[in-house]
Each structure stands twice: as structure tokens, then as C-alpha cells.
Chain A
Amino acid sequence: MATKSLKARNNDIANTSRQMEILSSGIFANGELPTFAAKIKETGHFPLRPKKLEILQINLGYMCNQVCEHCHVDAGPDRKEIMTVETMQQCLEVIKKTEAHTLDLTGGAPEMNPNFRWFVEEASKAGIKDFIVRSNLTIIRANKKYYDLPEFFKKHNVHVVSSMPHWTRGKTDKQRGEGVFDKSIKALQELNAVGYGMPGSNLKLDLVYNPSGAFLPGDQMALENDFKKALKEDFDIDFHSLFAITNLPISRFLDYLIASENYEDYMHSLLDAYNPEAVKNVMCTNTISISWEGWLFDCDFNQMLNLKVASKVKHVSDYREELLQDRNIIINQHCYGCTAGAGSSCQGVVA
């Protein structure tokens, strides 16, 4: 189990241009597999263009209390990049005037940003319809100062979306670190205690499942049923929906794929599961991702690859939605991760 980010380890893969090089060479350069651009051309989806903007996803920083094996953000305790109040203020201006109905706060552990609560309070005043915080759960138990997070989320009617790779301790701790399972269970019980995730409750609690290894997620509905049954029987935990998300071949997961000699097979699996229907609804068509520094991206994954939007507007301080919406979405081979099977996005399957 890693305890440091790739960046802190000076790993080659921490360099985004190196990742782009890997994704463009080998099986994609020699013609064994078609590039993503070639593939979506077959069904007339190239260039990929945005549809109506629905979701603003803001990354409050790469700092995290966990160092998960598969993390595409390469987040961890040693990452110090977090959003400043100035950038948050620029984001608030955007939130006030955006057409988007969903605000999605992510990280790292967004709660570790010292101005997280202030930002949530200000953003909730803007009256956005669905206000998501992506919480890794263990943060709620990490330190006394976070113990009241369930109450805080409830107060602002935040929709909590949490990662939970499996309903068993072994699989969870292997991916996310020793003790993560027990802490996550405790955090879920505390969220349930204030009303989150209960049947019929408007306090929404959804879980995110992503495979702990070089394989794709199975059927979202079947996995949801298995999670619900096991968490209820073993720990009396309730939650609303499960989102099954495919791991994209970037950052720490790419490093793992290469080190374990699974890279080529994994790319083949993504290609074999390619679903043209999913292309129509990939999340980059309805989302704008904002980095901790205020840069704009087509999605969180492009953010991690430092592929800024192909638009005159590249920073939140210059934000102009109508101009931004008139752009081509930047794609590369990692995009196959969002079009496999029933498709994958931060909101679960798309087709």
C-alpha cells in the first residue's frame, strides 16, 4: 500500500506529458487498437461537442487523508495544492450566474480545505438545485474537527457521494488503506443517524464503486443490490444509489496497470466494451471542471492530465459560459474509460 503520492515519489507517471506519451504510443501507434478520435468518428461523434451545461465540478485541492491505489488525482497528505479564498470567490461569481443545476465539490478530500465550510455556506446561498460533496467518508472520523460534518452537510442539504470499493473489509482496505473499511462503516452509520441515506429521506447519500484492479465494473444495478443487502445485514446501513465507475488509465491507476503488466489487456477490455450509445452522454458533454487554481477543463480526468479547455476562456476569472460552451472537447485514449459498457461518469452509468 502506497503512503505517498506519485508526485512525492518523483514517479515518472506524475509527469502529465509522460502519461500522454504512454497513451499515444504502443498499441495505439502501431494500429493494434484505434485511437478514441478514430473510434468516435465511426459514429459521427467527432469532434465531441458540449450539450447543455448541467454540472459545475470544482476541485478544492489535491490534499487528502488517504492514498488510494487507483486515485486519478494522485491525492494524499503530502499534496499541498488547495484552492485559495480568492479563487473560491471567483467560483462563487460563476455559481451565481451559471445555467448548471448541479454543483459538485471534489478533491482530494474537499473537507480538508480550511475554507471548505465557508465556501459551502456561500455556495448554498446561491441556491443551486443539487449540491454534491464527494466525501471519502474516513475524513469524518479522521479528526475531532470533522466529527460534526454529517450535521454540517445536513444543515446545507448537501448531497453526499462517497467512495466505497466493496462491502467487505479485505477488498476495501487493499485499495484504500488499512482501517479504511471500519472508519467508512462508522461514518456511514453516523450519516444514517442524522437521516442521510434513509429510505424516503431527502438527505441524499450515494455510494461510488470502482473496481480494485484491472477489470471493469459489472452491472450497476446488480452491484447496488449486493451492496445494499450486505451493508444492511452486516452493519444496518442504508444508502440511496450506487454509481459504478470505471477506472481511467491515468495517474496512479496507469502506473499500476503498467507495473502489473495489465495495461494492454486493460485497454483491450475498454475497447471490447466500447459502447457508442455511451458516447452521446459522456460527462464532459454536460460538465465543466474547475481546478484548485481556477483553470477550466472538460472533465476531472483532463484536469489531471493538464489538458485545459480548447476555448478563449481558460480560467474561472474570465468565465463566460456562452463562449465556453462553443468549444471542442479535448479527447485522448483515456476517454475509452467513459465509454465502456454502460458508460461511466461521476454520476454513474450514462447509457
Chain B
Amino acid sequence: MSKTYYDSSDLRKFGKITEWDEELGNKFFDYYGKVFEEGALTAREKSLIALAVAHTEQCPYCIDAYTKDTLQRGITKEQMMEAIHVGAAIKSGATLVHGVQMMNKVNKLEM
């Protein structure tokens, strides 16, 4: 077993998940491929969304993959960083909006 939980070369082995369950694995990869095709959103827009979500999910493989993908599409560093801030804003907003729940609870409990 490897001594670390993550190994960057494991990303290249992603496709191997089909070896232990071909049907579900293939269904996933077909779906995945279809999602990223040019549609009502451009492939470029989808790549930036994926980059932002890769960060909010804190998936190191996804960050490697979509940093490269966005670079390949000619997306600039500034655009990449802005996309991550969108993800971060939603993440922090999601934390802070729960503050209302906390406030409600305090208001209910306090005399």
C-alpha cells in the first residue's frame, strides 16, 4: 500500500474502475463524457464550472485535471481564480446562511 492517501499518478488509472464493475463504470464514463460536450453551455463554460467545483469538493485529482483542461482552452489565470472565488463565495455563503438557523435557535431558547 502507498504511504499517502493521494498519488497524482492515480488519476491516470481512473478508467480502471471499470475493471471491477464494467457496466456501472462504463455508464458513469459515458455520462461524464456526455455532460462535458458542447451543449446549451459551451465546453469552455463547463470547464470553468468544473474547476470551481473541483475546489469546493477539494478533490486533488479534479483540480489537476481541470487546471490543465482550462489552460488547454486558453482560459487565463485571472479567469481561473475568479471561478474559484465563485465556488468559495458559495461555500462561505452556505456556511454563513446557517447563521440564521443559529439565530433562530438562540431566539427560541433565550428568554
A-side interface residues toward B, CB under 8 Å?
166-168, 170-171, 209, 211, 213, 215-219, 222-223, 226-227, 268-269, 272
Q: A269 to B9, alpha carbons, bound, how many Å?
A: 12
CA distance A196 to B77 in the complex (A): 32
How does the 8 Å CB contact mask read for B32-66 relative to A, with 1 for contact and 0 for none? 00000000001110000000000000000000000
The distance from the CB of A217 to the nearest CB of chain B, in whole angstroms, is 7
* Contact indicator B76/A171 (Cβ below 8 Å): yes
Which of B12, B44, B68, B71 meets A222, CB within 8 Å?
B44
Q: By the criterion of a CB under 8 Å from any partner CB, how many residues of chain B are at the interface? A: 11
| 8 Å CB contact of B72 from A211, A227, A268 | A211
Q: Considering the chains assembled together, what is the distance between the CA atoms of A213 and B68 in angstroms? A: 10
Beyond A218-B72, A268-B12, 4 additional contacts (C-beta under 8 Å) are A166-B76, A170-B77, A216-B72, A223-B73
Residues of B within 8 A of A222 (CB): 42-44, 73
Chain B residues with CB under 8 Å of chain A are 12, 42-44, 68, 71-74, 76-77
Residues of chain B lying within 8 A (CB to CB) of residue A166: 74, 76
Does A226 lie within 8 Å of B72, measured CB to CB? no
Interface of B is mostly: helix
The 4 closest A-B pairs by CB, nearest first: A218-B72, A218-B73, A215-B71, A215-B68
For residue B74, which residues in chain A have a CB less than 8 angstroms away from its CB?
166-167, 209, 218, 223, 226-227
Complex: how many Å from CA A219 to CA B71?
12
21 A-B contact pairs sorted by A residue (CB < 8 Å): A166-B74, A167-B74, A168-B76, A170-B77, A171-B76, A211-B72, A213-B71, A215-B68, A215-B71, A216-B72, A217-B72, A218-B73, A218-B74, A219-B73, A222-B43, A222-B73, A223-B73, A223-B74, A226-B74, A268-B12, A269-B68
Nearest Cβ distance between residue B17 and chain A, in whole angstroms?
16
Give complex CA distance A168, B75 in Å: 10
Q: Whole-angstrom distance between the alpha carbons of A227 and B73 in the complex?
A: 11
Residues of A within 8 A of B71 (CB): 211, 213, 215
Q: Measured between alpha carbons, how far is A171 from B73 in the docked complex, in Å?
A: 13
Complex alpha-carbon distance, A171 and B80, angstroms: 14
CA distance A209 to B72 in the complex (A): 11
Chain A residues in 8 Å Cβ range of B73: 218-219, 222-223
Residue of B nearest to A171 (CB): B76
Instruction: Tell me the smallest distance from the CB of A275 to a CB of chain B, in Å.
Output: 15
Closest chain-A Cβ to B107's Cβ sits at a distance in Å of: 51
Instruction: Report the Cα distance A215→B70, complex, angstroms.
Output: 10
Chain A residue nearest to B64 in the complex (CB): A265
When the two chains form their complex, are residues A219 and B43 in contact, meaning their CB atoms are under 8 A apart?
yes
Of all chain B residues, the one with the shortest Cβ separation from A230 is B74
- The distance in angstroms between the C-alpha atoms of A132 and B43, with both chains bound, is 33
With a cutoff of 8 Å between Cβ atoms, the chain B residues found around residue A272 in the complex are 12
- Interface centre among B12, B42, B74, by most A CB within 10 Å? B74
Q: Shortest Cβ distance from B111 into chain A, in angstroms?
A: 60
Which of chain B's residues has its CB closest to A167's CB? B74
Closest chain-A Cβ to B33's Cβ sits at a distance in Å of: 14
A122 CB to nearest chain B CB (Å): 39
Question: Is the beta-carbon distance between A215 and B12 smaller than 8 angstroms?
Answer: no
Query: How far is the CB of B38 from the nearest CB of chain A, in Å?
Result: 8
B77 / chain A contacts, CB cutoff of 8 Å: 170
Shortest CB-to-CB span from B39 to chain A, Å, is 14
A223 to B44, CA, bound (A): 10
Q: How far is the CB of A70 from chain B (nearest CB, A)?
A: 14
